[in-house]
């Protein structure tokens, strides 16, 4: 068994690893040495220990206040060597995360106060769909709603860009998942000028300030949602150009994956540098302590999913979720009904 069990479950390394002071090329970033632990450790951790581990682990990928954010300080690959032999451990680690998430979701649903909005943004083939599928696999579908935002319809184009998102906000007690979101309106719309033109805005608002103004609007909107009980986590699945190329070729070579590939994906790839700059600025202006961005290393799908689940567990832990307390009167009533049921003939 390798000595790499620093993932989620038992990380003891430098928690601030991605925030290096001197800019370094990703390829030259030294891989960290990992702490040794045992797989059995997972089962023996109590709930409090699990919370602490997920807090420490997810913190490394959390941007928090985005003021000085630089994308180049964040890796696209895990900072530990993971091979095929590590798959069972990764699987078990994700399972533990998902079980914990399911337990927290049950409480959130019962408490009916908070809602959680998870936003996923990424370049094509970064693994958004797979992450959503695997991370939410153990969650009660009743407490969860997924919305995928595509190119806006004619009806959506007749409204402001937040309109279609507002309509799909999670109800209290539920988890809402946005597969893309209003952030497309400061990403694809910014990278491709003709798309902005097609938004039919009054000309006086289409100025070079439009992006800063949209960032401000988004910050305010998220602040508003937070104050009304919606906790927002935003995930940027940070895949490398090299890994995207590999996944595109796989999609073309494998008939079962052909449906996932579109010529538009290949075209978007040619705008890679523009997208990276745009993502960087977007994260810098819209990551806040309350509604943070997470930059998830996405070149390894299993690792990315563990990062995501640990961030969700940590955020939910901080909401102090609890089953509603039943009043003394209600308790007495329940006891009386119980007795009546027992006495029934």
236 contacts ligand AMP (rule: CB under 6 A): no
Ranked by CB distance to Mg ion, the top (closest) residue is 124
- 185: partner contacted, choices Mg ion, ligand AMP, none (Cβ within 5-8 A by kind): ligand AMP
Cβ(301)–Cβ(239) below 8 Å? no
150 binds ligand AMP (CB under 6 A): yes
Measured from the CB atom, the residue of 134 and 180 that comes closer to ligand AMP is 180
- Taking CA atoms, 345 is separated from 114, 194, 335, 339, 342, in Å, by 43, 75, 18, 12, 8
Contact 92, 42 (CB under 8 A): yes
Binding of ligand AMP at residue 247 (CB under 6 A)?
no
268 touching Mg ion, by CB under 5 A: no
Alpha-carbon span 38 to 179, nearest angstrom: 35
Q: Does 189 bind ligand AMP (CB under 6 A)?
A: yes
Residues in the chain: 345
Distance in angstroms (rounded) separating the CA atoms of residues 59 and 307: 10
From the list 195, 210, 276, 319, which residue makes contact with ligand AMP (rule: CB under 6 A)?
A: 195
Binding residue for ligand AMP, selected from 120, 149, 236, 294, defined by CB under 6 A:
149
124 near Mg ion (CB under 5 A): yes
Which of 35, 151, 206, 266 is the binder for ligand AMP (CB under 6 A)? 151
Residues 195/188, Cβ–Cβ less than 8 Å: yes
State in angstroms the smallest separation of the CB of 243 from ligand AMP.
17
Three-state DSSP state, 22: coil
Q: How crowded is residue 127: how many other Cβ atoms within 10 Å of its Cβ? A: 24
Say which residue the tokens 């990992």 belong to: 34
Q: Rounded to whole angstroms, how far apart are CA atoms 235 and 128?
A: 9
Q: Does 162 bind ligand AMP (CB under 6 A)?
A: no
What 3-state class would DSSP assign to 251? helix
Q: Which stretch binds Mg ion (CB under 5 A): 58-66, 124-132, 309-317, 322-330?
A: 124-132
| Minimum CB–partner distance for residue 239 and ligand AMP (Å) | 13
- Residues interacting with Mg ion, by CB under 5 A? 124
- Residues interacting with ligand AMP, by CB under 6 A? 124, 149-152, 180, 184-185, 188-189, 195
């Amino acid at each position: 068994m390798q000595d790499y069990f620093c993932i989620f479950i038992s990380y003891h390394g430098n928690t601030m690893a991605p925030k290096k002071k001197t800019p370094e090329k990703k390829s030259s970033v030294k891989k960290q040495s990992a702490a040794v632990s045992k797989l059995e450790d997972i089962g023996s951790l109590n709930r409090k220990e699990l919370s602490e581990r997920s807090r420490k682990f997810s913190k490394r990928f959390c941007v928090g206040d985005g003021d000085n954010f630089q994308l180049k300080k964040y890796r696209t690959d895990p900072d530990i060597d993971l091979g095929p032999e590590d798959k069972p451990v990764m699987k078990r680690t994700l399972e533990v995360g998902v079980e914990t998430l399911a337990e927290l979701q049950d409480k959130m649903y019962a408490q009916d106060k908070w809602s959680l909005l998870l936003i996923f943004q990424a370049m094509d083939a970064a693994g958004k769909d797979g992450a959503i599928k695997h991370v939410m696999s153990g969650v009660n579908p009743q407490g969860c709603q997924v919305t995928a935002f595509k190119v806006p319809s004619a009806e959506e184009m007749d409204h402001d860009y937040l309109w279609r998102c507002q309509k799909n906000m999670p109800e209290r007690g539920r988890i809402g998942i946005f597969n893309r979101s209003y952030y497309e309106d400061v990403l694809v719309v910014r990278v491709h000028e003709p798309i902005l033109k097609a938004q039919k805005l009054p000309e006086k608002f289409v100025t070079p300030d439009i992006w800063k103004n949209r960032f401000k609007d988004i910050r305010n909107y998220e602040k508003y949602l937070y104050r009304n009980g919606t906790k927002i986590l935003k995930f940027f699945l940070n895949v490398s150009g090299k890994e995207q190329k590999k996944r595109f070729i796989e999609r073309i070579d494998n008939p079962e994956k052909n449906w996932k590939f579109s010529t538009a994906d290949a075209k978007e790839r040619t705008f890679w540098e523009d997208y990276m700059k745009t993502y960087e600025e977007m994260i810098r202006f819209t990551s806040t302590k309350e509604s943070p961005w997470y930059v998830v290393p996405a070149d390894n799908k299993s690792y990315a999913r563990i990062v995501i689940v640990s961030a969700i567990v940590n955020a939910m832990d901080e909401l102090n979720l609890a089953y509603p307390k039943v009043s003394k009167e209600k308790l007495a009533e329940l006891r009386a009904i119980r007795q009546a049921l027992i006495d029934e003939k």
